[in-house]
Amino acid sequence: MIDKEIMRDLVQKYNNNSYAEKEKRLFVEIANNVKERKYLKKEEFLEIVRWKSVRAIRKAENNPKEIIEEITKLALEVNNEEVKIRVLTSLKGVSIPMASSILTIVNPEKYGVIDIRAWHSLYNLGLINYKKDTFNIKDWLLYLNIIRKLAGESNLTPREIDKALFMYDKINRQGNLYN
């Protein structure tokens, strides 16, 4: 387990990095627009895809504007976490990490981005007992429960927890990201 102060320090390191600068538009402007309108426009969706995984952009571009709007509207309206993630991953180019990114941008007080760095940090800290490079819905639900619990215990948001986990791995990783 990471001490609260170390967690806060890791969040600060993340926020002082170039990552945070690139995210400002997503987490402020796009997030506010989506909260007001209740769905993502295609341009916003593609901007999130480019931020999370540029490799997915070709597939993501094949989603019609109307489908993106309807799917994101439905995902943001429904209260069931599993349904939210299933709905979002029905879009072309949207994996579990991408879907978690969309949810996190819109509501960082409730969500965090699942990715290999955050997962490996949880593994290395003994909070989960298996390594993963790709994620399924069961993994997402487990991750969400853990980061929400950590957020509550440390008085941080789930998004801040995912930032801390990302930086923990970035600082402590030995070897390649993908083994």
Quick: pLDDT tens for 77-134.
Answer: 999 999 999 999 999 999 999 999 999 999 999 999 999 999 999 999 999 999 888 9
pLDDT digits (tens, 9 = 90+) for 145-160: 999 999 999 999 999 9
Instruction: Give every CB contact of residue 169 below 8 A, 6+ residues apart in sequence.
Output: 117, 118, 120, 121, 124
Give the predicted TM-score (pTM) of the model.
0.93
Q: Which of 86, 104, 82, 107 is CA-nearest to residue 95? A: 86
Q: What is the pLDDT of residue 178?
A: 56
Q: Are 154 and 4 in contact (CB under 8 A)?
A: yes
What is the phi/psi pair of residue 30, to 5°? -65, -45
Contact indicator for 113, 53 with CB cutoff of 8 Å: no
Give which of 143, 141, 142, 161 is closest to 151, Cα–Cα. 161
Predicted local confidence at residue 176, as pLDDT: 65
Tokens of 119: 């997962």
Task: Write down the mean pLDDT value for the chain.
Answer: 93
Contact between residue 2 and residue 147 where contact means Cβ atoms under 8 Å apart = no
Measured CA to CA, the distance from residue 107 to residue 32 in angstroms comes to 10
Burial status of residue 86 (CB atoms within 10 A of its CB: 0-12, 13-18, 19 or more): middle
Express each pLDDT in 15-70 by its tens digit. Answer: 998 878 889 889 999 999 999 999 999 999 999 999 998 889 999 999 999 999 99
